[in-house]
Chains A and B, each alone.
Chain A
Amino acid sequence: MDKFGYTISKGRQIDYDSNDRRIAEYIYEREPSFRLCIECGGCSATCTTGNFTRFSLRELNILIKRGENEKVRQNIRKCMLCGKCILVCPRGVNTRNVVVLARQAFQKSDDYAV
């Protein structure tokens, strides 16, 4: 029946406590430079893939860190590994390896196996 009062929609907030941040941990461990990202957007501005479709490595980086994995899983394979972002990143993040590791992590974790 009708509910009264407000319900809090689940997608409203990042549920940091219960989100699965194993993908982030997997990448941190193997590519420490992933921690250096300051979300400047240089990579996504220059991105070859981003020229054609909505794809932002910057966004995926922060989503991984917050454990909001679903969007990452759907998009990470769009990266062409062209390496432009490496040349742009002011923080020296090894972006290509982040992408490769994220792909691997999804493949390895059962929850995300395609």
Chain B
Amino acid sequence: MQFDPFVIPFNIGLYFIITYVVVRCIIWFRDLSRPDKLRLQRGFFGKPFGESLKEIFLESLIHRKILKSNLRLGYMHMSLAFGWFLLIFFGTVEADVFGDHHLNAPYKAIFFRFFNPDHGRTGFESAYGFLMDLILAFILSGLLLAVTKRFYSRVVGMKKTTKLKITDRIALTSLWMIFPSRLLAESFTSGAYGNGSFMTGSLGAWFSTFLPVRELAYPFWWLYSLSLGTFFVLLPLTRYMHIPTELFLIFMRNSGIRTGDKPGTYSEVQTYSCSSCGICIDACQMSFAAGINTMQSAYLLKAIRKNDDVSHMAQNCLMCGRCDQKCPVGIELSPIRMIQRRMEDSENDFRTVYKGYFRSQQRPEPVKPVMPPSFGFIPEAEPKKVDVVYFAGCMSHLTPGIKNSMVKILNASGLSYSFIDEAGGICCGRPMMLAGLDREARELINLNSQLIWKTGARTLVTSCPICYKVFKESYYLDVEVLHHSQFIGNLIRENTVKFNFLRKRVVFHTPCELGRGSGVYDEPKEVLSHIAKLEKSKFEDQNSLCCGGSLGNLKIDSRDRIRIATQTAAELTKGDPDILATACPLCKKTLSAVTGTRVADIAEIAAEALVIPRQQRNIAKQIRIIKELADIS
């Protein structure tokens, strides 16, 4: 039995962290809701298992998504994670094949060279040694990048690295020391025995020319073991806990578990899976357009982990969803933020925090008392029966161009419709929801639902993506909900209404709530390419920008809104298009205030291209004549 006291720190660390992670996973599992428990069980013993393994390999080891968005940052993460994995894997194989017996304790693999200093002289052994050196070199190159990044954060393309707390610092130092100390320990041992491969061997030979390598090797093996042990023991106190947590997250996600709208295990696991990579900060216009660097998702998650008061931070976000799209860990950042917003209005929501190694649940202040209904003053309405209901939405009343165009198009379609909020309606409820006031939003939703239900309509068309999202997701209505861009798209497809082709170059701005919010990307663009010359911009689809007008942000200053809008408009009009098209009254208002280019809603462009059927033209003329006659009499 080979043993040496220096392996003790490593062993303590390793067994501690394994036990700790297992216990934590058990607690997480225990706290899952019943359906989620079933999902996870089914996911773990079914097909999703393979997918999870694949994802762990691709994302947790290779870091494919980070590689895609930032090559150098990705390389850094990959070399550390994947490199370390390879080192452990091949180390274990090495210990198994070349060691004195099979199935060794893990420390035998980690400290293989210490226990087998004379190893590596024959051909195959030295080739294997070469491989191990190569892997170590791979890790060290990534480490070098990581260290440089900490000091010159520009190097890997990130603008800001997140700030560190003290335990993080110690853990980070021990993490940084692991591989250099291994390198030195192995080099000294190789130097003493006159073997080793291209890196450890040559370094060892060189050291032995001026250093007492035989005496130095032992303390460095101690250092290596201590660094590992310290890192493992401190791991749960630091952000590096994201490494084991992310594995659990991947299994949960692949089993079909989602964040939902209440705090719970899944949002907790996500909160602790953030690697603080900062990609969400880079994606955020609050940062790169408005220069605000306090509220991005990485900071929010960190504040939640620290149990800070996050109410202002949670509200100070456009809810544009750009960070959700880019987060390489796949954390559902907007839903998590929404949970924080809602917490202030709820009596029984808890926030989970870890104090040291232990988990506790806390209730964030303040909790609002239950209130009587807020909107009792809304009268009952008796709408007429129709097939199609058109709901312009509050904002559209400030953009008469949009609602007039929709009326034109609806008239041309020949459908039986009613413009249900022509004289002003009530709000769809989404803005209240975005403020975290779900109960009151529900009241509005119920009022609107009744109204729509009474019309007996089968289709609900809205001009506002904010309304669209809430109609689609939170109304229990038996109607087909369409954004007007989809409605116009249907008219084109069914050939009910004819449109001319306008010789105008158009760039399309995808509204956040329509695109990332509701997944409607293609239909508006299909409409536009049918009626005009649609051109591409740098910010398409998932990568589209926020106009800055978002109702999602309760806190932002109007000047910062203008900053964001100005930059967005400038980016989109780089190719000097004739029209900057959008599909949202709020985007239209926000963007048209900051650019000289004509900003138009897709409905307005369609109305401009509309071929009015001959019959209707005659009717319009007759109506005019009748009106004039009436005036004369």
A: residues with CB less than 8 A from B are: 30, 33, 46, 48, 51-53, 77-78, 80-84, 87-88, 92, 94, 96-97, 100, 104, 107-108, 113-114
Query: Would A81 and B558 be within 8 Å (CB), given that A48-B426, A114-B371 are in contact?
Result: no
B432 contacts A48, C-beta separation under 8 Å? no
Docked Cα-Cα span, A104 to B341, in Å, equals 13
The answer to whether the Cβ of B476 comes within 8 Å of any Cβ in the partner chain is: no
CB distance from B622 to the nearest CB of A (A): 34
Q: Closest approach, in angstroms, between the C-beta of B432 and any C-beta of chain A?
A: 5
Provide the residues of chain B in CB contact with A107, threshold 8 Å. Answer: 366, 368-369
9-residue interface stretch from B196-204, B232-240, B289-297, B393-401: B393-401
Q: Hey, which chain A residues are within 8 Å of B559, CB to CB?
A: 92
- Give, as a whole number of angstroms, the nearest-CB distance from B266 to chain A: 28
Beyond the given pairs A77-B374, A87-B549, A108-B366, 8 more chain A to chain B contacts, judged by CB atoms under 8 angstroms and listed by A's residue number, are A48-B425, A51-B424, A81-B432, A81-B551, A82-B394, A82-B427, A87-B398, A96-B431
Q: Would you give 7 A-B contacts (Cβ < 8 Å), ordered by A?
A: A48-B427, A52-B378, A77-B371, A77-B374, A80-B427, A83-B431, A92-B558
Contact indicator B435/A81 (Cβ below 8 Å): yes
B554 interface hit (Cβ, 8 Å): yes
Q: Which of B378, B397, B444, B558 contacts A84 (CB 8 A)?
A: B397
Q: Mark B547-574, 1 if CB is under 8 A from A, else 0.
A: 0010100111111000000000000000
Q: If A88-B398, A92-B558 touch, does A80 touch B369 (CB 8 Å cutoff)?
A: no
Contact with A33, one of B378, B437, B558 (Cβ below 8 angstroms): B558
Q: Is the CB of B378 within 8 A of A87?
A: no
User: Smallest CB–CB gap between B601 and chain A, Å?
Assistant: 15
Determine the chain B residues whose CB is within 8 A of the CB of A100 once the complex forms: 315, 435, 554
CB nearest neighbor in B for A54: B377
Which of A30, A53, A82 is close to B431, meaning CB atoms less than 8 Å apart?
A82
Chain A residues near B371: list those with CB within 8 A: 77, 114
Determine the distance from Cα of A94 to Cα of B424 in the docked complex, in whole angstroms. 22
Q: CB within 8 A of B424: which of A48, A77, A92, A104?
A: A48
Judge whether A80 and B432 touch: CB under 8 Å.
yes
B356 at the interface (CB under 8 A from A): no
Whether, in the assembled complex, B123 has its beta carbon less than 8 Å from a beta carbon of chain A, the answer is no
Indicate if the CB atoms of A94 and B394 lie closer than 8 Å.
Answer: no
Q: Is the beta-carbon distance between A97 and B555 smaller than 8 angstroms?
A: yes
Contacts of A114 in B (CB 8 A): 369, 371
A82 to B377, CA, bound (A): 16
How many chain B residues have a CB neighbour from A under 8 Å? 35
Write the nearest CB–CB distance from A28 to chain B, whole angstroms.
14
**B5 sits at the interface (CB 8 A):** no
Residue of A with least CB distance to B377: A53
How does the 8 Å CB contact mask read for B413-435 relative to A, with 1 for contact and 0 for none? 00000000000111100011001
Which chain B residues border A94 with CB–CB below 8 Å? 554-558
Write out the residue numbers on chain A whose beta carbons fall within 8 Å of the beta carbon of B432: 80-81
Tell whether, in the assembled complex, residue B394 and residue A48 are in contact, meaning their CB atoms are under 8 Å apart: yes
Bound: A96/B436 CA distance, A = 13
The interface residues of chain A lying within 8 Å CB-to-CB of B35 are none
B375 interface neighbour in A33, A78, A108, Cβ under 8 Å: A78
Nearest CB of chain A from residue B609's CB, rounded to whole Å = 27
Q: Which residues of chain B are near A84, meaning CB under 8 Å?
A: 394-395, 397-398
Complex Cα–Cα for A82 and B444 (A)? 11
Minimum CB–CB distance from A24 to chain B (whole Å) comes to 19
- List the 10 closest pairs (A to B, CB-CB), nearest first: A92-B558, A80-B427, A82-B427, A53-B377, A82-B394, A51-B424, A81-B431, A77-B374, A83-B551, A97-B554
Q: How far is the CB of B373 from chain A (nearest CB, A)?
A: 10
Contacts of B554 in A (CB 8 A): 94, 96-97, 100
Interface 1/0s, chain B 480-523, versus A by CB < 8 A?
00000000000000000000000000000000000000000000
- Cβ–Cβ < 8 Å partners of A88 in chain B: 398
A81 closest partner in B (C-beta):
B431
Could you mark each residue 447-462 of chain B with 1 if its beta carbon is under 8 Å from any beta carbon of chain A, else 0? 0000000000000000
Contacts A53-B377, A82-B427; is A46 near B398 (CB within 8 Å)?
yes
- CB nearest neighbor in A for B559: A92
Q: From B556, which residue of chain A is reached at the shortest CB distance? A: A94
Pair B369/A113 contact, Cβ less than 8 Å: yes
